[in-house]
Amino acid sequence: MVSDRLKILEEPDLHNTRLLMGFTGWMDGGEVSTGTMKYLIDKLHAQKLAEINPEGFYIYNFPGSMEMTALFRPHTRIRAGLIKSFEVPKNEFFYDEQHNLILFSGKEPNLQWEEFAECVFSLCSWFRVNMAYFIGSVAGLVPHTREPRFISSVSDAQLKETLQRFGIRFTDYEGPASFITYLIKNCAERDVKMATIVATIPAYVQGNNPRCIEAVIKRVAGILGLQVELDDLRAIGDEFEKKLSDAVEEQPELVANIRKLEEDYDNEVFNTDMSDLKSWLQQQGINLD
């Protein structure tokens, strides 16, 4: 039975279907989660498949400063006193029939996780999805001059072997949970296996990170057997890295810390005491804890 909050728009003939998911909000640092999905949807010429009605899943009126509440409000555009647009969160599924692939891009729900999950699982059942992946990122002590490290959590230990072949390690974590963790916890009873592919990206780099998006797409393409053209993204990443390196060179203290990160990265050191860098990041308003 399909959830009444889920609207299916097309019914392509998909087999052994895989689902790839990206969310704004939690674990979308550098816009890696949403940026990866946007790029793949475009390059694979994916077509709109379904959507989840956002009503009731999000908090629009949150107490606090204007800066804080603005993060929760719908976006509107007004011209000459007339409302031209009023945008609520979108939760959209697309499909690539050639690769038996469904791609989801949306916003992590604030409320009714159980009902939102039911929408996802209803779609999985309808289109015979047997494997789902979430693409995300977290800030970490890695240098921008190296590829991000990748970590994962899985619904089934048997999934580890495949992910390990692509250099993905498995996370040890305790703290606030994401909606994705909720999905993984409940997917076994819905006959769906699930894994996260999470890039650990430089904490000192703010905004869209095309270099990390490229690294994630390469990893995902390898796991799923996709052929994805990356020339334009690579060019954007090269320009991004040049500008970033120029900016970093103007901050000698940060340069020294990055060199230490590079040394530890190259020597596969993971538990580095980088209290100096953490303190510097906190002074910039970036908290890793």
DSSP, residue by residue, 170-219: E----SSPPHHHHHHHHHGGGT-EEEEEEEEEETT--S--HHHHHHHHHH
> CA quadruple 70, 71, 76, 80: dihedral positive or negative?
positive
Q: Is residue 81 part of a domain?
A: no
Looking up tokens 């250099």 gives 167
Average pLDDT score over residue span 155-174: 93
Q: HSE (CB half, 13 Å, CA atoms) of 282?
A: 8
pLDDT at 283: 52
Q: Regarding beta strands 193-202 and 149-152, do their DSSP bridges make them parallel or antiparallel, or are they unpaired?
A: antiparallel
Q: What is the mean pLDDT of residues 21-27?
A: 91
pLDDT band at 67 (very low <50, low <70, confident <90, very high): confident
Position 187 in a domain: yes
- Residue length of the chain: 289
**Comparing 58-62, 111-115, 167-171, which segment has the lowest mean pLDDT?**
58-62
pLDDT digits (tens, 9 = 90+) for 96-109: 999 999 999 999 99
What are the pLDDT digits (tens) for 188-227? 889 999 999 999 988 877 788 999 999 999 999 999 999 9
CATH of the domain at 64: 3.40.50.10900
Q: Is the pLDDT of residue 248 over 70?
A: yes
The answer as to whether 228 is a domain residue is: yes
Residues of the domain holding 240: 6-72+87-283
Rg over alpha carbons for the chain, rounded to the nearest Å, is 20
**pLDDT, mean over the chain:** 88
Task: With cut-offs at 50, 70 and 90, classify the pLDDT of residue 279.
Answer: low
Dist CA 167 CA 195 (whole Å) = 14
Q: What is the pTM of this model?
A: 0.86
Q: What is the pLDDT of residue 1?
A: 59
Which CA distances in Å does 79 have to 74, 84, 85, 87, 232? 17, 7, 10, 15, 34
- In three-state secondary structure terms, 78 is strand
Domain count, the chain: 1
**Mean pLDDT, residues 56-81:** 86
140 lies in some domain:
yes
pLDDT in tens, 36-65: 999 999 999 999 999 999 999 999 887 778
More confident residue, 83 or 205: 83
Helices 252-266 and 275-283: angle between axes, nearest 10 degrees = 140
- CA–CA separation, 172 and 178 (whole Å): 15
Report if residue 133 sits inside a domain.
yes
Is 161 a residue whose pLDDT tops 80?
Answer: yes
Burial class (CB in 10 A: 0-12, 13-18, 19+), 171: middle
Q: Look at residue 78 and tell me if it is in a domain.
A: no
More confident residue, 97 or 288: 97
Main-chain phi, psi angles of 83, to 5 degrees: -75, 115
Residue 245 included in any domain: yes
Q: Yes or no: say if 13 and 30 are a contact pair by the CB < 8 Å rule.
A: no
Residue 45 or residue 140, greater confidence: 45
277 CB contacts (<8 Å, ≥6 apart)?
141, 204, 257, 260, 261
Say whether pLDDT at 273 is over 60.
no
